[in-house]
Amino acid sequence: MNEHNAQQNSGELAKTFEPAGIEAKWYAHWESNGLFRPERPDAQPYTIVNPPPNVTGSLHIGHALDNTLQDVVIRYERLRGKDALWVVGTDHAGIATQMVVERQMEAKGDKR
> Each residue of 39-49: pLDDT tens digit?
777 889 888 88
Residues 87 and 53 grouped into a single domain: yes
User: Tell me, what's the pLDDT at 32?
Assistant: 92
Host domain of residue 44: 40-112
Residue 84: φ, ψ to 5°: -90, 135
Instruction: Please count the residues of the chain.
Output: 112
The model carries a pTM of 0.48
Count: domains in the chain: 2
Residues 32 and 45 grouped into a single domain: no
25 backbone φψ class: left, alpha, beta (φ>0; ψ -120 to 50): alpha
